Amino acid sequence: MIRLLKYEYLYLIPLLLSAIFGLKTLRQKWPKQYRLLALLVIISFLTEIFAIAWKWHLYDMFPKKYARNNFWIYNIFITVRFGILLTILYRITHSLHTKKTILYAGPVLLLFGLLNYFFIQGPYQYNTYSVIFAHIPIIVLCLLYLKQLLEETGQVILHKEPMVWALLGTFVYHAASLPFLVILNFLNSQQQSLSIIYLPINDTLNLLLCTFYLISFLCKPLSTRLY
């Protein structure tokens, strides 16, 4: 338990609080995109707890011997998370062109994530290809959403809109981590000491993302007209 007090696990605090506050989206029957966001946060928290527990103890608690490697858990989550984010962004965008692009390209990218998991990089190596191909469209779609808000003819109180906080945090996390992910395989093979630098950066980005999730659930949607 003391190990959870390390900086690398600090993001679990706002993530847990986000999951708890996110339950009100179900109780108060918020629009579906917010309930999907709450589902994403809850799945994220459960995935993190399972992955940490697997690395610490679970892998050694079965009669059959399993590897301590927990990448297979995170690699599954990459595709699940991407699918939920695409669904949220599909529901909140006004552009028919963007909606069609998500409908056609989304399943292809999700299929690639599965193929990468089972046949290309495999479950026990961090699936950087899947992460990169998920990050790029999410970054673009977050920017399009923010552009959509700025073009709204009616008054929009941005700092009180939950989805603004959630997708702003998502954009920052994806945009900041993408350059490292692009060169991560090279660094692991050629400059492993440099690849370790990514870990505290990712910890900070995780903390920031989960804090933005928490802020989003402390707000309440003022109007469903935006969607």
Question: For 81-102, what is each residue's pLDDT tens digit?
Answer: 999 999 999 999 999 999 999 9
The helix-helix angle for 12-22 and 198-218 (nearest 10°) equals 30
The closest of 7, 15, 72, 76 to 49, measured between CA atoms, is 15
Note whether 212 and 159 are within 8 A (CB): no
Note whether 149 and 226 are within 8 A (CB): yes
Note whether 133 and 108 are within 8 A (CB): no
Note whether 43 and 78 are within 8 A (CB): no
Tell me the whole-structure pTM to 2 decimals: 0.94
Note whether 34 and 162 are within 8 A (CB): yes
Where does the pLDDT of residue 74 fall: very low under 50, low under 70, confident under 90, or very high at 90 and above?
Answer: very high
For the chain, what are the domain ranges?
A: 10-218
Residue 224 has pLDDT above 60, yes or no: no
